[in-house]
Structure 1
Amino acid sequence: MNIGVGTYPRRRATVRPEAVAFEFEGTTHTYGEVADRVDRLAQALRERGLRPGDRVAYLGFNHPALLETFFAANLAGATAVLVNPRLAPAEAEFIVDDSGAAFLVYGADQEASVRRIAAGEKAPHLLSVEGTGGPGEEYEAVLASASGEPVDADVADDDVALIMYTSGTTGHPKGAMLTHRNLTFQYLNAFTGTDLRQDEVMLSVAPLFHIAGLNMTTIPTFMMGGRIIIHRAFRPQAVLDEIARSQVTGAFMVPAMLDLLAQHPGFDEADLSSLRSVMVGGSPLPERSIRLWQDRGVKIVQGFGMTETAPGVCLLEASDALSHAGTAGRPHFFSEVRVVDPVTGDDVPDGTAGEVWACGPQVMKGYWGRDDATAAALEGGWYRTGDIAVRDADGYFTIKDRIKDMYISGGENVYPAEVENALLALKGVAEAAVIGVPDDRWGESGRAYVVLDAGTHTDADTLRAELVERLAKYKVPRDVCLVDELPRTSTGKIRKNVLREATGA
């Protein structure tokens, strides 16, 4: 019996086919229609040569086709690869190539990346979602011509359902492999930790190509049979209007989104009466933000996790939002969490800082094609998160720092090594170091310290402009500081702690 995630549309359609599943820019699809479209897409992919175990990539912003591709790939026994459309063309090309995707479904605004990918030696079969004359077949035409016969595939719990790439600490991202079993238990974590209901009206405005927006709210709502309203991107006025018009009951957002909504001129008069709760992830919400939303009758649920854990590690339930503000909460229902000495691997006492290790059926199988990275990250079934935390006597975890120097800007993980490599590739740059600094709008943003080659004449604005061609905009440092030298240890390692202390970061 195939109980993989690809069967979810047909299973939900069997229960209530007439219920609305997706709303998107004036178009609605019932669960029965979604099941038919997923069957058709899976058949079409098979007719074009898709084999079990192949990868099917999706490159684009939020759209029903992203979810249809996710389900259809898995229904056919393949693996979905969701690619961040905010990446520069070279970055997107790397992920598609690295995953070995046999098919690439893409949005209309991704033509620059897709044309670059199409020119490669191992170009995937292309499907254009919104049919604007880009390369490949037109998505809707493919569905219309395909057979709607049910798809029968031999899918095992341990087969990889989803590969989602995380920014690499060495300049290249790694693909976290999540199996059908991983995802199933993650959805159970979501059900047991949140107040999802069958009459849910979920606003999917956070990126579905990131793990939390997909797996904490959207897919669990689909399984419950709720209505999912998909926004292509986040726009504060559109979100406030949608909540009032559609009587939205829930959403996932990062703290920057909540702040932008609260600062919007229409917030005080906005009708939020239907909004039961908002799931928040990316970084802890300050107490003032929690109070602001609770005063409007909206419960705040905060989560801590990462792509490798699908993402559930810890959850701060709504009832604890104020009494334990600033913590990451307690472990999810199917999660086990330790705080250990990162050198010895021994548990440290409560109140002592250590590295967070997580274990559970939702923890990834490993990194795609990276046996060495998998071995370094997984130890005896435990995932070494690289985050430093303290657990108190009541079992609440407070995240203190990130071992790997990662910072989070507007909900996006940014790894300094990747940005530093891009800087060092620029003509005239001799040395570079990047740190995260506080940012009132985005939570954190990058600050780069750059040493130029002798005789080079350039300025910070020019360097930032050149980086825009190489990196996604959210990775480009807000500030670039030209300096004569970088502080280093006796072995030549850059002392980033000195840079942080100098900036107060």
Structure 2
Amino acid sequence: MKPYDMGVLFDECAEHAIPTTVRLDRPFDIAPEGGTSYDVPALAGLVREVSAWWHAAGARPGDPVAIVKDNHWDYVLLACGAIRLGAVPAQIAGNLDAPSLATLLHRLRPSVLLAGSAVLQRCAEAGVDLRGLARTVLALGEPVPGARSADDVRGTPPPPPRRPEPDAPLVVVHTSGTTGVPKLVVHSTRTVIGTLARFEAVRVPVLAARRDDVLANAGAWAHGRAFCWTASVFCLGPRSISILTGADPDTADPVLRAAPPTIVEATPANYLRLRPLLSRLDNAFRNVRLYLSTFDAIHPPTVRDYLAASGRRTPLWMQGWGQSETGPLTFRFFTRGSVRQRGERHPGTRNLGHPVPGRTRLRVVDPATLRPVPAGRPGLVLAATAATCLGYVGEDDRWAAKRDGRWFNTGDIGVRRRDGSLLLLDREVDHAGALSCLEIEDVVADRLPEVIECVVLTTRGRPPLPVAVTEDGALDRAAWATAVRDLPPLREPVALRWDEVPRTATGKVRRSALLAELQDGATLPGSGRWT
């Protein structure tokens, strides 16, 4: 089975007798009384039900609608329900700050906004009323004055499904927003399903889910990756899927131990937060044959620890690099042997591997002239792929500035190596000459196990400012001095706890926001033209 129509995906999977069972770490926000276990027919019924909600709330074919709520996989079910009747859903993370949410909804102008009550209340307390940014507002959870509740639209029959046109807008997702307000990215059925999901739904040995596999995913469920992953993985029909909505080890542990996974996918931030599980007596990762990571840089110690936790003889880690606008662009595999080296200044996980054969092309160009540079020289990374999105909602000029014919400007600085692989240095806005922030962060994470995450912030005219994230916000200064002795000059480090660092919906550090908190008036070294 190959995916195409996301509005009836689960109906078609049920017709094909896909036997997958889904286990949740908490009930769906759209079905709080529905429990934590679903089979495919039950999921199909839930999509039909929420399609009726959208219709009863006033959504019609072609209308943009918005989903803003707590992190859970039902983001995708709500999107499928909207697509079923022909509306265009926008999946917007509920943990964005209130002004950013207001900006995105103003750009989108949805006919219906389905929002978590807690999100609406939080924004109201911040002086931002989201209720005036859509014709109709549906509140999930506690009643909210001026908004309809899900109970108001329950029990209505769903409209008949409408098959999407291949090149029409299908779904809107957003970028991470590490440097400001996220961009709203429009994908079509051809780009996100026909090009990306169908490729992943091919039964490639080792990489694709088998029917006896047990999957676990600790994802950012508003992100476009969740939408694409859902389309492909249900067509492959693994035995079961465990859905994690957060990264609290104590919450995740019983879910993972109840069905020890053979394939794990998570954001890099969630991999970091779940690392304490690796040392527990009943190791939930003992059966893992394949780990997958996307979204952000992953540091060598994290890869090393998870591979060591597997009881398999040859577990693999597949790292993908791409963007919301393009989907995956490169991939690379790691084994226990390839991440054995510790603490040295070597490419490690910053070598992103090679472009996807036959599907993506990369070009590295001079930032000033946009002309190609030879292998071995750093430059802006451009990408060409059939999966490139249709554009940005409400930001046509910004989109035009990032396109040059078939080439899309990723805004990343990298080096094309002589073997064709790509070495990532930094985002262009953060890049400071010959120094690579990502390299320093890798080395520090390798040399100081007590540092959960190292963030190197660059500014014009001063050495970089390192931020060390630890469990208690304390740092052994003598150990730090030893660890950075052979690195480029750095300022004295700032030590913070995890929850003191501003982050995106996928757990990425919002570097510009963090820099503004720590150093008022600091200027980033890059131009920021392609962020």
TM class, shorter-length: 0.7 to 0.9
- Would the aligned equivalents of 1:272 and 1:296 in 2 still touch at CA under 8 Å? yes
Give the match's secondary structure for 1:496. coil
Letter matched to residue 278 of structure 1 = Y
Matches within 5 A, 1:97-496: 97-113=106-122, 121-129=132-140, 131-135=141-145, 136-139=147-150, 142-143=153-154, 145-148=155-158, 151-166=160-175, 171-184=180-193, 185-191=195-201, 194-215=207-228, 217-226=229-238, 227-263=240-276, 266-267=279-280, 269-297=282-310, 298-309=315-326, 311-318=327-334, 322=338, 325-326=348-349, 327-333=351-357, 334-405=359-430, 437-440=466-469, 475=510, 476-477=513-514, 480-481=517-518, 494=523, 496=525
Residue 157 of structure 1: CA displacement? 0.9
Aligned equivalents of 2:278, 2:336: Cα separation in 1? 30
Residue 269 of structure 1: CA displacement? 4.6
- Would the aligned equivalents of 1:36 and 1:148 in 2 still touch at CA under 8 Å? no
Gaps of 5+ in 1: 421-432, 443-459, 487-493, 498-505
- Would the aligned equivalents of 2:84 and 2:163 in 1 still touch at CA under 8 Å? no
Residue 401 of structure 1: CA displacement? 1.7
Aligned equivalents of 1:434, 1:377: Cα separation in 2? 30
| Aligned counterpart, 1:501 | none
- Would the aligned equivalents of 2:322 and 2:329 in 1 still touch at CA under 8 Å? yes
- Would the aligned equivalents of 1:21 and 1:222 in 2 still touch at CA under 8 Å? no
- Would the aligned equivalents of 1:237 and 1:266 in 2 still touch at CA under 8 Å? no
- Would the aligned equivalents of 1:74 and 1:161 in 2 still touch at CA under 8 Å? yes
- Would the aligned equivalents of 1:240 and 1:270 in 2 still touch at CA under 8 Å? no
Aligned equivalents of 1:173, 1:374: Cα separation in 2? 13
Query: Is 1:11 aligned with 2:12?
Result: yes
- Would the aligned equivalents of 1:200 and 1:250 in 2 still touch at CA under 8 Å? yes
Gaps of 5+ in 2: 27-34, 340-346, 432-436, 442-450, 472-493, 527-531
CA 1:316–1:138: 2 relative to 1, 3 Å:
same
Q: Provide the alpha-carbon RMSD of the alignment.
A: 4.1
Give the match's secondary structure for 1:393. coil
CA 1:165–1:291: 2 relative to 1, 3 Å:
closer
- Would the aligned equivalents of 1:159 and 1:180 in 2 still touch at CA under 8 Å? yes
| Aligned counterpart, 1:41 | 50
CA 1:378–1:495: 2 relative to 1, 3 Å:
closer
Between 381-390 and 204-213, the greater mean CA deviation after superposition: 204-213
Aligned equivalents of 1:320, 1:394: Cα separation in 2? 22
Q: TM-score, structure 2 length as denominator?
A: 0.72
Letter matched to residue 251 of structure 2 = A
CA 1:137–1:411: 2 relative to 1, 3 Å:
farther
Residue 120 of structure 1: CA displacement? 5.0
Letter matched to residue 397 of structure 1 = L
Give the match's secondary structure for 1:477. helix
Letter matched to residue 134 of structure 1 = V
Give the match's secondary structure for 1:97. helix
Letter matched to residue 137 of structure 1 = R
CA 1:321–1:329: 2 relative to 1, 3 Å:
farther
Task: Encode CA deviations 1:232-287: one digit per residue, 9 max, x unaligned.
Answer: 32112322332221222323223333333334584465232232222123444343
CA 1:43–1:64: 2 relative to 1, 3 Å:
same
- Between the two proteins, the alignment pairs up a number of residues equal to 448
Letter matched to residue 293 of structure 2 = V
- Would the aligned equivalents of 2:277 and 2:284 in 1 still touch at CA under 8 Å? no
Aligned equivalents of 1:411, 1:181: Cα separation in 2? 39
Task: Encode CA deviations 1:56-99: one digit per residue, 9 max, x unaligned.
Answer: 21112233431211111112222111111111222222212221
Aligned equivalents of 1:404, 1:306: Cα separation in 2? 16
Aligned equivalents of 2:307, 2:178: Cα separation in 1? 37
Aligned equivalents of 2:320, 2:51: Cα separation in 1? 33
Task: Encode CA deviations 1:275-302: one digit per residue, 9 max, x unaligned.
Answer: 2222123444343333322222243111
Letter matched to residue 229 of structure 1 = S
Task: Encode CA deviations 1:320-341: one digit per residue, 9 max, x unaligned.
Answer: 9827832111112422222223
Matches within 5 A, 1:46-125: 46-113=55-122, 121-125=132-136
Aligned equivalents of 1:228, 1:477: Cα separation in 2? 36
Query: Is 1:30 aligned with 2:30?
Result: no
Give the match's secondary structure for 2:90. strand
Residue 128 of structure 1: CA displacement? 2.9
Aligned equivalents of 2:132, 2:404: Cα separation in 1? 37
Give the match's secondary structure for 2:331. strand
